[in-house]
Amino acid sequence: MAKGKVKKKTAKPRFSKSSLTLSPKNKVLLGSFLFLFGLALLMAFVSFLFTWQADQSTLSQLGNREVETQNLLSKFGAGISNFFIYEGFGLPAFAIAVLTMITGIYFFFNLNKKALQRFWFWGILVMIWLSVFLGFFASSSSLLGGTIGFEMNDYLQDYLGFTGTLLLLTFLMIVYLVVRLKITPEKIFTSFRKTKNAVTDDFKAAASVSEEIKRSKEETSEEDEEPELIKEPVPLKPETPTVTPEKVIIRSEENPDDVEMEVETAVEEEVEDNLSKKLVEDYGEFDPTLELKNYQFPTLELLKDYNANGGGITIDQEELEENKNRIVDTLKNYKIDIAQIKATVGPTVTLYEIIPEAGIRISKIKSLEDDIALSLSALGIRIIAPIPGKGTIGIEVPNKKSSIVSMRSVIASPKFQHAEMELPMALGKTISNETFVVDLAKMPHLLMAGATGQGKSVGLNAILTSLLYSKHPAEVKFILVDPKKVELTLFNKIERHYLAKLPDTEEAIITDNTKVINTLNSLCIEMDNRYELLKEAMVRNIKEYNTKFKARKLNPENGHKFLPYIVLVVDEFADLIMTAGKEVETPIARLAQLARAIGIHLIIATQRPSVNVITGIIKANFPARIAFRVTSKIDSRTILDSQGADQLIGKGDMLFTQGNTLLRLQCAFVDTPEVDKITEFIGSQKAYPDAHHLPEYSGEESGTGLDIDVSERDKLFREAAEVIVMAQQGSASLLQRKLKLGYNRAGRIIDQLEAAGVVGPFEGSKARQVLIQDLESLNQLLNEE
Ligand SMILES: Nc1ncnc2c1ncn2[C@@H]1O[C@H](COP(=O)(O)OP(=O)(O)OP(=O)(O)O)[C@@H](O)[C@H]1O
């Protein structure tokens, strides 16, 4: 009855980004082995040229230790050289030794493998070609083309004759020159012309010194044009080397403007296109991870295996049977008969799916929620009637003994390992014990709420850990806002790898609320900048942009660069909204509305999911939400738009929605020591020189625009100043009460008082400090102005 299959963890741990690629250590080992092996081949081959005749008789007795060979690499050298040179390709077999050495170098320095493949492909072809070609001269030395070259040559001659074979080989050589070396008659012609021009230039430069005076007389009109031509193309040279002559002709015409524009467009496109193709051919695609190419992803060993001895979830048959009977009995008491019941055991909760007999109203079962909870004497019972997409009614009952979902198990799961997502987050496991992975890039922002102690911080750590296990430091950057000051401090260790900050700040993790405002505004600037780059690159989103950049189609000299994803994490949003209000809400809303296309994603957590914290505008822009246990139905509604979060059992039990259905999940558990180990592991590796810099944002001095102009002061300015000084309390509400003003006017006067130096700057929820002690000092100050 129960779906008691506990999935065994079969996934192999991932130690590097792709399981197919070698680790940097192994690459060095393989690289050095191949290089030295190639070198050995080379030495054996060279030695073979001098010793082959002497060694030939010993070849049949290579197994005999008594027999001596003269090759530098003894029996191995004589055997392998004989195989490749005499019996193989003759002298061109040297290519094999050289290619092996080059392969070693490529592995050792971790260079682009595509270029290596091309080396081998063309290297082998050239070797065969040469071998067949040298077959013509086999009569002078049997070593030249080897047995293969000789036989192939002989075969071709039988069918094509000497001339036919020669013509075929000539054609193949032309193929090589054109396809591989890209030598065309046009190119030869252009380079010839260039050399000619260079010679003319040199000649002219020398001649111009001595003939300066005579020039006007002696030079013909043709020569007059030429010095101009030489001056003109100079700035154009690097861009358009192959079409310079065309330009020259056009520039010397009467109306240069129109024609010049036409030509430049055409030339630029061609060059850029060729350039990107050539660059990709020469250097391979741009690799953003190159700067930290030896970076190692954290290993699975850093995470604790909580179920090591228990092995996944435990199924208590007795408990299942007992719960089933109670549910059936309770429903029977209310005359509800059940046609079928099925249980799905999850890590913390078991879902009993009921199909009631025909004719039973769903609302009737739903109204019995409390009665069923009572009869099962369990907290956290949730009734889903009906389960969306299924024709059943679900009753979720917490297990007596819940099992921890370890971060290790979700990270090791194939779902996460093979997730083809931009920003994969392994949140935990579903009720049917399946790993649940979502893409933050698709969400595109996440709102997280839950009463204190229900698992929010663990949830945030799980998300950050997922990203650390899947993304290279070049691909994602975090901005961490931690008003509680202690939750995210561990991530300080990876500042230079993964964090982003304002250029002039010391701490990358933001704990000060006033700094948050600057950072948010700076992020807005970054957003605008990125949109500008996307517009110039004519792409719609960051993914397309980065693909284009990797293909070397965007010129870094025009400000283009590889754009990492930016994830902003705010651990306690309520605190921010309370102290900074609109100043925080506005940029957050702006980012939430617009930032999805350019790779800035927000994750916002709060303890207090009340409507003044999660305002309508915030809610509208955060379709993806996570609710841990909250204390009231109202809170649950605020965060999820439906109840349910108040019935959770805490400790990482959560509901997740992406706009439609609610999904109950058990959040993966990652403890502080584990995070410590991961950050330590990353932090101890080579890093960038500094954290990723956000654009500079010079905030207005006191946050609001001040009416510094004395003449624009409010009529009640002086009176207000007296009220404030007498009460020694710098608050707008005091002015509202005493002077019977509206909030806006009182606020404006406070700003003017700040500009005049009567009160201090805005300090969040606290009243401003009054800087003037008594009326006498106030009078003195104002009269001096
Ligand atoms: N996924 C989980 N699995 C098991 N236990 C958990 C899980 N998440 C949290 N807990 C337990 O709950 C405790 C509190 O979690 P956490 O610190 O994340 O709460 P919080 O909501 O961030 O609280 P606060 O808002 O006060 O910081 C943890 O120390 C842990 O014992």
pLDDT digits (tens, 9 = 90+) for 115-169: 888 889 989 999 999 989 988 887 777 778 888 888 898 899 899 888 998 899 8
Decide which of 652 and 767 is more confident.
652
Q: Which residues pair with residue 425 across a beta bridge?
A: 438
Distance 642 CA to ligand 1 centre (A): 23
pLDDT at res. 544: 92
- What is the number of the ligand 1 atom nearest to the C-alpha of 402? 4
pLDDT at res. 708: 59
Decide which of 708 and 454 is more confident.
454
Q: Is 407-519+563-686 a domain of CATH 3.40.50.300?
A: yes
Whether omega for the bond prior to residue 483 falls within 30 degrees of 0, making it cis, is no
Look up the CATH architecture of domain 710-784. Orthogonal Bundle (1.10)
Assess whether the C-beta atom of 669 lies below 6 angstroms from ligand 1.
yes
Decide which of 313 and 119 is more confident.
119
Decide which of 178 and 766 is more confident.
178
Assess whether the C-beta atom of 608 lies below 6 angstroms from ligand 1.
no
The set of long-range contacts for 92-95, using a CB threshold of 8 Å and a minimum separation of 24, is 92/126, 92/127, 92/128, 92/130, 92/131, 92/134, 92/145, 92/146, 92/149, 93/45, 93/127, 93/131, 93/146, 94/42, 94/45, 95/123, 95/124, 95/126, 95/127
- What is the number of the ligand 1 atom nearest to the C-alpha of 669? 1
Give percent of the chain with pLDDT exceeding 70. 82
pLDDT at res. 312: 60
- What is Dmax (Cα atoms) for the chain? 122
Q: Which of 116, 100, 110, 469 minimizes the C-alpha distance to 302?
A: 469
Q: To test the ligand 1 pocket, which listed residue (572, 604, 651) has its Cβ within 8 A of the most ligand atoms?
A: 651
pLDDT in tens, 342-364: 888 888 888 888 888 877 777 77
Matching residue, tokens 């605020």? 638
pLDDT at res. 40: 93
**Backbone region of residue 337 per phi and psi (left: phi > 0; alpha: psi in -120 to 50; beta: other values):** beta
d(CA 641, CA 644): 10
Assess whether the C-beta atom of 461 lies below 6 angstroms from ligand 1.
no
Distance 450 CA to ligand 1 centre (A): 10
Residue 173: pLDDT above 60? yes
Q: Which of 404, 398, 400, 401 minimizes the C-alpha distance to 308?
A: 404
d(CA 463, CA 382): 26
Q: How far is CA 710 from CA 691, 741, 774, in A?
A: 43, 20, 21
Could you please report the per-residue DSSP string of 216-273? HHH--HHHHHHHHHHHTTGGGTTT-TTTHHHHHHHHTSS-HHHHHHHHHHHHHHHHHH
Residue 517's H or E segment, with its range, is helix 513-537
pLDDT at res. 475: 92
pLDDT in tens, 665-698: 999 999 999 999 999 999 898 888 888 988 887 6
Distance 640 CA to ligand 1 centre (A): 20
From edge to edge, which strands make up the β-sheet containing 424-430?
A: 435-439, 424-430, 662-667, 653-657, 624-627, 446-449, 600-606, 565-570, 476-481
Assess whether the C-beta atom of 752 lies below 6 angstroms from ligand 1.
no
What DSSP character marks residue 427?
E
d(CA 138, CA 147): 9
Secondary structure percentages of the chain, helix, strand, coil, to 5: 55, 10, 35
Inter-axis angle of helices 456-470 and 672-683, to 10 degrees? 30
Element counts in the chain: helices (H) and strands (E): 28, 15
| Three-state DSSP class for residue 653 | strand
Q: To test the ligand 1 pocket, which listed residue (307, 403, 427, 457) has its Cβ within 8 A of the most ligand atoms?
A: 457
d(CA 562, CA 545): 8
| Average predicted confidence (pLDDT) for the chain | 79
Distance 651 CA to ligand 1 centre (A): 6
Query: Among the residues of 381-512, which ranges form H helices?
Result: 407-412, 414-417, 456-470, 495-498
Matching residue, tokens 């051919």? 281
Distance 520 CA to ligand 1 centre (A): 28
- Which range among 227-231, 481-485, 700-704, 740-744 has the greatest average pLDDT? 481-485
pLDDT at res. 706: 52
Whether omega for the bond prior to residue 444 falls within 30 degrees of 0, making it cis, is yes
Q: Is 317-398 a domain of CATH 3.30.980.40?
A: yes
d(CA 531, CA 542): 9
